[in-house]
Structure 1
Amino acid sequence: MRTTPKELTAIASDRRLLLVLLVLIPTFIGVWMFANTLPFGGAHPLEIALLILFGLLFTWLWIGLWTALIGFMLQMRGNDWLKISTLNTPSHGRPTPLASTAVVMPICNEDADEVFARLRATYLSLQETGELEHFRFYILSDSNQPEKWVDEELAWARLCREVDGFEKIFYRRRRYRVKKKSGNIIDFMRRWGKKHEYMIVLDADSVMGGASMVHMVQAMERNLHVGIIQTLPVSQGMDTLYARVQQFAGRLYSPMFAAGLAWWWLGDGQYWGHNVIIRIAPFMNHCNLPRMPGIKPFGGEILSHDFVEAALMNRAGYQVWVSYDLPGSWEEYPPSLTDDLKRDRRWCQGNLQHGGVMIAEGLPLMQRFLLVNGIMSYTGSLLWFMLLILTTILAWIAPPGAEVALEQAIQLLWITLGLLFLPKILSLLNALRDKERSASFGGRVGLSLSVLAETLLSALSAPVRMVFHSRFIILTLMNKTVAWGAQQRGEFVMSWLEAARNYAGTTLIGLVWGVIAWYASPVFFAWLSPVLLGLVLSIPLARLTSLGTLGRAARHRKLFVTPEEIQLPAELEEYRKGLKLYADERAALGEVDPFVLAVVEPMANAIHTAFLRPRRSQPESVRLRRAWMQDKALHEGPAELTSAERAELLNDLDAMHNLHQKVWSLPEVSFKKYWPVPGINA
C-alpha cells in the first residue's frame, strides 16, 4: 500500500494533537498540585517564577515520557506500518534498483589508522553486497596538522592498494577550512555533487554495514519526496567505565525513544549529521546555511548545522525521517565525562544559535518546535538549576508551619523523578521478556544489575551536567566562543590532579549549598541530597569512570554488556583486523616523522606531491622565505622547523620536489642524523 505525502501530513497532525493533549493535561494538573503545596499558595513572586520553571520542565518531562511509552508499545507490538524502512515497499517483492551514491567522510586531525580502518570495514562490507559499483567513497580532510595530513595521504594510498580502490576511493584536503564541517560538505557537493544522486555522510568514528547502506538508497529510491534518512548509530568498542555505561544505556534505551520519536515526527524529523543518507540535489539547492546576523557567539557561521539543514530541507517540501530499526550503524562515545562535557560545550553554543534560525520565514511549525527542543536540551539544565535555587530560597523564607506543605511539594517532585526513570524500567522490561535479547546484554541478572548501576551513575552525573551546562550557557551569553577541533576518542587516563582542577568548583558548590539547605530545613536538605551528592562526589566520579581498567572489570563481570560484544558483527570484526594490520605495519616501519617520510621516501613523496598543484607565479618574498626554510631544514634538520613552516613547505610542490632531491644529495652523516627513515638510512 502506497502512502502519499498528503496522507502522511494528516496522520502526523492527528498524532501530534494526541501528544499535545497527553502532555498538557498532566502538566497543568502537576502545576496546580505544586501551587497548592507552596507556602504562599503560589502568590509570592518567587513562587510564580518557581511555577513557571516547574511547568516548563514538567512539559519536557512528559514529552520524553510519552515518547518512551509510545516507543515501548511499538516495540511490544513488533511492527509500525509507517516506518521509512518499509514505507512504499513494492508488492512484487523485487529489489529496488540503486542510484549513484557518494559515501563521504569529513575528518579533521584524526588518527589516520583508525579512520581508514573504519572506512576499510565499511568498504569491504559494501563490497560483500555485490552493489559496490553504485558507490564512491570520498575522504574530505580539514586537517591542518602537517603530520596528520601526510598520514592521511599515505593511509589512503595503502587502502586503495589493498582493495584495488583507486577509482572508487578519493581523498581531498582543503587548504582553507571555510565553514568547518558543513563547508567541507558544501565544497564536496560543488566539486562532485552532480555526479551522484545521494550521499551517505559518515563521521570519523563511523562504521556502517553495506546491507544497511543499500537499504538506505533503496528507501530513497522508493520515496522521491524524502530528502534525508537518519539511521540510529549505536556506540561500540569503548573500554573506559564512563563510555561503557553510556554505550550500554544508548544500546538499551535509544531504540525505544527513537521508535517513539519516529511515530510522531514521521517525515518532519531531524538528523544528527552522520550515518545518514541525503538527497544531494535539494540539499544543494535549499540547505546552504545562512550566516547569522550580529556578532559571535550568536552571529556568524552556524556551528550545529544538522538541525538547521533538516529544517531547510523540510521547508523545501522534502521529508526527513529517522530509520530507527535499520541495523548496521555504529559510532564511538567520548571516553570520559570531561570529554563528553567538552563536546557539549560546542553543541551548546551551536544549539543556542538556533534561536535566530527558529524565526526564519517559511519554516514548518514542527521544525520550529524541534529547534526549540534542541535549545531546551541545554537550557533545561539552567532551568533546573534555577528551580533548585529558587526552592532553596523559598525554604529559607517559608513561614513557620509551612513544613507540611513543603513536604507535599517534595512528594510531587519525587513523583517527577519516578517518571524520569520510568523509561529505563520499560526498556528493561522489554529486554527481560525476550531471553535471547536479555542474553545479548549479559543475561537477565547482569542486565538488571547494569540498569541499576547505570541509573545510579546517571543520577550522580546529572547534577554535574546541570552545573556545567548552566555555565556553558552563561559563557555563551557573555560572548565566550569555543573552537571546534578533533575529539578525544581513545582511552586517556585522567589524573586526580586534572579531575580536581576540572571539578573543584562543582564540589565547592555542593558543599556550600548543602550547608545552606541544612540550615534552611533538614527536610529540604534530605530532598536535595541526591543533587548535592552528585556535586560533592564529582571529582572521584570523573576520575574513576575515566579508567579503562574499571570498564574492563565491569565487562568481565557481565556489567554494561552490549549485543555487539556478545556477537561481534562482521563489520566491527573487520575494523579490528584493519587496526591490527595497520599497527603491525607501523611497528615494522618503526618510529618515523611523517614530514621526514614525505620528503625522503620516494613513494611517500610521489603520493604527497600528486595532491599538490603547480603554482603559476609566486611573490618574490614568498619564494625567498620558502628557500630559507628549505636551507634551514637541510642544514639544521627538520626538527628545527615550526609546524607552520612544515605546513607551508608541504603545500608547495616545487619545495617538496627540491627537498627530496637535495636530501638524497646530503652527506651520509647529515642524511642519517637529520632525515632518518627505517629501511632507507636508519
Structure 2
Amino acid sequence: MTRNAAAFAQHPDNMDDVLVPPERPLLMPVQSLTRWNARQARKRPAPDGKTVASRIFVGMATLLLTAFATYEMINVVAVSEVSWLQLVFAGLFAITFLWIALPCASAVLGFIRLVRNTEAVPPHLPPGPLGRNALVMPVYNEDPSRTCRALEIMGRDLDANGASDSFEIFILSDTRDEEIAHKEEAAVRALRAALGPDLHVFYRRRAQNTGRKAGNIADFIRRWGARYDHMVVLDADSMMTAETLLYLARAMSLDPNAGIIQTVPMLAGRSTLFARMQQFATRIYGPIIAEGLAAWHGRQSNFWGHNAIIRTRAFAEAAGMPELPGRKPFGGHIMSHDFVEAALMVRAGWSVYMVPELKGSYEECPPSLIDLAGRDRRWAQGNLQHMKVIGAKGLCNMSRIHLLVGIMSYLASPLWLAMLTIGLVLATQAHFTHPDYFPEGFNLFPRWPVFDSERALQLFGFTMAVLLFPKVLGVSAVLLNPSARQSCGGGLAVVLGMIAETLLSALIAPVMMLLQTRWVAEIVMGRDSGWNAQRRDDGSLPFSTIFSNHYGQMLFGAAMAAAAYAVSLDTFLWLAPVTIGLVLAPFLSWLTAQVSAGVAFRRVRLFLIPEEVSKPAPQI
C-alpha cells in the first residue's frame, strides 16, 4: 500500500468529505522594499565566467547597434542646424531602437548556444530524491471541467511514472461566481475519484480574494506550506508532463541553492489563426530567445509566475508581497508579482534560473487579438507598478534590468507613437515651410537644406534587418536540425510560415501600439484594470463586438494616412506600414479570431507545430 493510500485508509472520509489536509503553517513575512540587511541573507552566488562573458556580449552588441543607428538617424534628419524637434525625434528613435537591439543581441547568443547543443537536451541529473511536492493551481472563475481534466492527465502521468507518492494536487480557488464554485467542488470530487487514493487532490476556496493570485499562493503557504518541500505553480491553462515534473523536483532537491527553476512553456492547444500564429512563433523563435536569456541571466533569472518549481520554505522567507504605497493603479497589491518575487528571491541569496532545453511544459495563448488586449491591460498596469519597485533596497542589478525591461515593454508603445507623430510634423514642416537659403544675410553660396534620402533608405533597411534577424536565426536553427525541421512540417513550411507570421505580425503591431498607448494613458490617469476571468475557448466573437473594439484604431489610421498623403507621397509611403494595419484593424482582428482561418492555414501546412505533425496536442 502506498503512503497516500495508507493515509486514505486511516481517514476514509477524505474521498468524500474532507477537501483540505490538516494545516501545517509556514511563516511568510511581508518583505520591505525600503529596508534590507544583507548580513542576514544568504551569500548571493556570483555569476560564473560564461554568464559574465554573455552579459558583456549582449550589452556591448546592444549599445553598438543602437549607437550606430542613432548616428545614422541624426545624419538623416540633420539640416544646416539641427532643430530641437529633430533632436527629440532622434532621441525617441534611440530609445525605441534599443528595445529591438537587445532581443537581437540576445538571439545571436541563443543561436550560438543552440547550434552548439544540437540535441537541445537538459543537463543530466544523477539519481536523487524528489522531495514532497505540490502541484498548485490557482483558479478564478475558470471552467472547472477544463482545469480538472488537465490535472487528471498530469496526475495519471505521474502515477504511471511511479511518482504519485511524491506529488499532491492542490486547487486554490478565488472564484466569486457561486454557480461556478459549485461546479468546481463537483469537478474536484470527480477528479479525486478518477485518480483514486494514490494521489491526493485537495481544494480550498477563499472567502476573500485578498491580493489576487499572489495572495492566493501566500494563503496556501501560510496554511499548508510546511507540508511541502517544493511547489510547482500552474496556471489554469497549464500542462506539464511527468518527465518534466520529475526533472524539476530532482533538480531542486539536488541543488540546495536553487529557489526557483523555470521552464519555457510552449503554446499549444488552440485553433484560431491568431493562436496558431503565436504557437508557431514560440516553436520557431522561442528556443533561441530562451537560450539567449538563460545565457546572460544566469542564476539571476526571471520568473513568469507559472510552470516552474519553487522551494517552498525559501519562497516563504523571501517573497512575501508588500503593498505599494498610494492609490491604485500604481499603488496597492502588486499585480505582476512574479517579476518581483524573483527579484526578492535573488536578493535573499537564492538562485533563480531557467532550463530552456526542458520540454514538456505547455500553456495556451489567447484565441484572439481582443483577448490578448484584455490580458495585456492587466500586465501593463502590473509592469508600470514596477516603477515603485525598481529602486528597492538590496536588489541585484540583473533584477533591476528585468523590471526595467518589463516597464519599457509598455512605455515603448507611446514612445513609438510619439516618434511617428514628430516624424510626420517634421515632414510637414519640411514640405510647407519655405526654406531660407541665406539665413545670415547675403552670402556668396546659399545654405541648402540637407536630407540624405539614400542614407534614410539604408537606415530603414538596417532597422528592418535588426528587427527580423532573430526570426531568421530561429528559422536557421530549425532548418539545421533535421528532427526539429520535420516536426514543424519541413523546411519549406517553416520558411513560408515565417514569412506569413512576419506579415501578420507587422499588421498587428501598430494596433497593439495604440492599445498599449491607451493602457498607459489610462493608468497614468488613475484607472484600475480590475480582475476579470480570461476567455479560454476558441469561440469567435461577433464582428459587431470586434468592430466596436477596433473602430477607433481604424479611424486614427485613416486620419494619419490622409495627413501623410497631404504632405507628400513619400511621407504617405513612409507611414504605410503603420497605417495599413490600423485601417484594417477590425477586419484583421475578426479574420485572425476565426477557427476556420486557422484550419485553412493548417491545410496548406502553415504554422505547424510538433504536436500537430508527430505528437498529439496537449488536451489543456
**Aligned counterpart in structure 2 of residue 61 of structure 1, from 97, 100, 107:** 100
Structure 2: how far apart are the matches of 1:290 and 1:9?
32
Cα deviation for residue 407 of structure 1 reads: 5.3
Q: Give the structure 2 partner of residue 255 of structure 1.
A: 287
Q: 1:494-513 maps to which residues of 2 (within 5 A)?
A: 494-513=541-560
Change (3 A) 1:491 1:310: same
Change (3 A) 1:407 1:528: farther
**What is the aligned partner in structure 1 of residue 583 from structure 2?**
536
Q: Does 1:566 align with 2:613?
A: yes
Query: In 2, Cα distance between the equivalents of 1:564 and 1:271?
Result: 26
Displacement, 1:532? 0.8
Q: Which residue of 2 aligns with 1:313?
A: 345
Alpha-carbon distance, 1:248 to partner: 0.9
Match of 1:46 in 2: 85
1:36–1:42 CA contact under 8 A, matched in 2: no
2:603 to 522, 535, 556: 556
Moved more, 208-217 or 434-443: 434-443
Aligned to 1:470: 517
1:182-197 matches, within 5 Å, as 182-197=214-229
Measured in 2, the distance between the counterparts of 1:52 and 1:151 equals 55
1:13 maps onto 2:52 in alignment = yes
- Deviation for aligned residue 1:482: 0.8
Q: Equivalent residue of 1:353, what SS? A: helix
Task: Look up the match of 2:23.
Answer: none
Q: Which residue of 1 aligns with 2:535?
A: 488
Distance in 2, Cα, partners of 1:211 & 1:554: 32
CA gap 1:402/1:219 in 2 versus in 1, 3 angstroms = farther
TM-score (norm 1): 0.80
Q: Distance in 1 between the 2:106 and 2:82 partners?
A: 34
**For 1:20-79, what per-residue CA distance to the aligned partner results, in whole angstroms no more than 9, with x for missing partners?**
222112221221111111143673111111121111122221111011111111111116
CA contact (8 A) 1:38 1:406 kept: no
Which residue number in structure 2 is paired with residue 177 of structure 1?
209
2:393 equivalent among 361, 383, 390: 361
Question: Are residue 394 (structure 1) and residue 433 (structure 2) matched?
Answer: no
Which of 492, 495, 502 in structure 2 is aligned with 1:448? Answer: 495
SS of equivalent residue, structure 1 residue 277: strand
- 2:565–2:572 CA contact under 8 A, matched in 1: yes
| Structure with the bigger percentage of helix | 1
Cα separation, partners in 2 of 1:33 and 1:178, compared to 1, 3 Å:
same
Structure 1 residue 424, shift from structure 2 partner: 1.1
- Using the TM superposition, give the Cα deviation of residue 212 of structure 1 relative to its aligned residue in structure 2, in angstroms: 0.5
Partners of 1:207 and 1:331 within 8 A in 2? yes
- State the match for 1:644 in structure 2: none
1:546-592 Cα distance to aligned partner (Å, 9 max, x none) = 111111121122111100111225xx56x47xxxxxxxxxxxxxxxx
Aligned residues of 2:366 and 2:372 also touching (Cα < 8 A): yes
Match of 1:408 among 451, 455, 477: 455
The aligned residue for residue 292 of structure 1 is: 324
Q: Please say if 1:214 is aligned against 2:246.
A: yes
Task: Supply the RMSD in Å over aligned alpha carbons.
Answer: 1.9
Aligned mates of 1:128, 1:437 — CA distance in 2: 28
* Counterparts in 2 of 1:97 and 1:341: CA distance versus 1, 3 Å: same
Inter-partner Cα distance in structure 1 for 2:71 and 2:494: 38
- CA distance in 1 between counterparts of 2:109 and 2:146 reads 38
State whether residues 74 and 80 of structure 1, in contact with CA within 8 Å, keep that contact through their aligned partners in structure 2: no
How far apart, in 1, do the equivalents of 2:362 and 2:269 lie? 9
Q: Shift of residue 402 of structure 1?
A: 4.9
Q: Distance in 1 between matches of 2:429 and 2:461?
A: 22
More displaced, 475-484 or 33-42? 33-42
Question: What amino acid maps onto 1:78 in structure 2?
Answer: N
Report which stretch shifted further, 401-410 or 53-62: 401-410
Verify the 8 A CA contact 2:261 2:352 in the aligned structure 1.
yes
1:103 partner amino acid? L
* Counterpart residue type for residue 406 of structure 2: G
Question: Structure 2 CA distance, aligned partners of 1:443 and 1:80?
Answer: 18
Alignment correspondent of 1:25: 64
Q: Which position in structure 2 is the counterpart of 1:97? A: 129
Query: 1:425-481 deviations in whole A, cap 9, x for unaligned?
Result: 111122123333222112222222211111110000000000100110001000011
Which of these residues, 457, 460, 464, is aligned with residue 504 of structure 2? 457
Residues 169, 475 of structure 1: alpha-carbon distance in 2 compared, 3 angstrom cutoff: same
| Cα drift, residue 319 of structure 1 | 1.1
Q: Are 1:155 and 2:192 an aligned pair?
A: no
CA contact (8 A) 1:5 1:225 kept: no
Q: Count matched residues.
A: 563
Distance 1:46 1:300, change over 3 A: same
Decide whether the 8 Å contact of 2:174 with 2:205 is kept in 1: yes
**Identity over aligned pairs, percent:** 38
Please say if 1:343 is aligned against 2:379: no
Shift of 1:403: 7.5
Distance in 2 of aligned mates of 1:145 and 1:407: 61
CA distance in 2, matches of 1:180, 1:256: 33
1:6 Cα offset (Å): 4.7
Q: Is the 8 A contact 2:143 2:180 kept in 1?
A: yes
The counterpart of 1:228, out of the listed 248, 260, 265, is 260
Q: CA deviation at 1:515?
A: 1.2
- Of stretches 105-114 and 427-436 in structure 1, the one that deviates more from structure 2 is 427-436
Deviations 1:198-235 (A, max 9, x none): 10000000011011011001111222111111101111
Tell me the CA shift for residue 382 of structure 1: 1.3
Letter in 2 for 1:86: P
Q: Who is 1:424 aligned against?
A: 471
Gapped runs of 5+ residues in structure 2? Answer: 1-42, 436-447
2:114 equivalent among 67, 70, 75: 75
**How far is 1:413 from its partner?**
2.8
Amino acid at match of 2:376: D
In 1: Cα distance, 2:197 partner to 2:395 partner: 42
* Change over 3 Å in CA distance of 1:408–1:402 after alignment to 2: farther
2:152–2:194: 8 Å Cα contact kept in structure 1? no
Return the offset for 1:329: 0.4
What's the secondary structure of 1:164's corresponding residue? helix
Q: Residues 297 and 349 of structure 1 are in contact (CA less than 8 Å); yes or no, is this contact kept in structure 2?
A: yes
1:35–1:51 CA contact under 8 A, matched in 2: yes
In 1, distance between residues paired with 2:213 and 2:290?
A: 25
Higher RCO by CA contacts (8 Å cutoff, separation 6 or greater): 2
Q: Deviations over 1:132-158 (max 9, x none)?
A: 211111000111111111111111111
| Conservation of the 8 A alpha-carbon contact between 1:140 and 1:171 | yes
Per the TM alignment, residue 383 of structure 1 is displaced from its structure 2 partner at its CA by 1.2
Aligned-pair CA distance for 1:404: 4.0
Output the CA distance in 1 between the equivalents of 2:415 and 2:243: 44
Q: Which amino acid aligns with 2:515?
A: F
The aligned counterpart of 1:274 is 306
SS in 1 for 2:395: coil
Unaligned segments of structure 1, at least 5 residues: 577-682
The letter for the 1-side match of 2:128 is T
Please state whether the residue corresponding to 2:391 is helix, strand or coil.
Answer: coil
Q: CA deviation at 1:524?
A: 2.0
| Conserved 8 A contact 1:503-1:539 | yes
Q: Is the 8 A contact 2:286 2:474 kept in 1?
A: no
TM score, norm. by length of structure 2: 0.88
Tell whether 2:407 aligns with 1:370: no
Quick check: 1:86 aligned with 2:118?
no
